Amino acid sequence: MNPARNLILVGPTGAGKSCIGRRLAEHYHLRMVDADNEIEQRTGADIGTIFDCEGESGFRAREKAALEELLQADDLLLATGGGAVLDAGNRALLQSRGFVVHLRVTPAQQIERLRHDRSRPLLARPDREKVLAEMAAVRGPLYAEIADLAFDTETLGAAEATRRLLLELDQHWQRWSV
């Protein structure tokens, strides 16, 4: 068991990090923070605009700074952006500051879940399936590297995924307390 004050959700876009995260935060009485939303609030711009103005590297620098600041706190449920694990420093930080849950989903299911979503800059292309498969090949091993627990959301709605994940967390996460 990894005793940790924070619960951190990692995984690809469309895995359910934000939706499931809100439910878990309520259950465990944690402050819910969606890292991408936090970056948007801090900059006053949406992720797409940040990508347009600063490129992916500019966004990743903002993401790193936000994670470093956010993870100084305790009793937090953090839903990371899908690419947060690309930076080795972020991976070390996530691993050291919380119990990390990798929410897994296949690219095919991501396409289904994100079919109406046009807000994700890295998917603003006609070959979305190819992009998601390439991301999965690069990011999947990085999620697995830092995960204390892997949980498959592929065939589950948010309510059922949360219910089952709570059972898993009760077995694997010993919430550290003062």
**Residues tagged in the binding site annotation:** 14-19, 36, 60, 82, 120, 139
- Reduced to 3 states (helix: H, G, I; strand: E, B; else coil), residue 18 is helix
* Binding residue ranges for substrate: 36, 60, 82, 139
Residue 171 CA: distances (Å) to CA of 93, 94, 105, 149: 24, 21, 22, 10
**CB–CB of 11/82 below 8 Å?**
yes
Q: Where are the beta strands (DSSP E) in 49-148?
A: 76-79, 99-104
* Binding residue ranges for Mg(2+): 18
CA angle 76, 79, 84 (to 5 degrees): 115
* Binding residue ranges for ATP: 14-19, 120
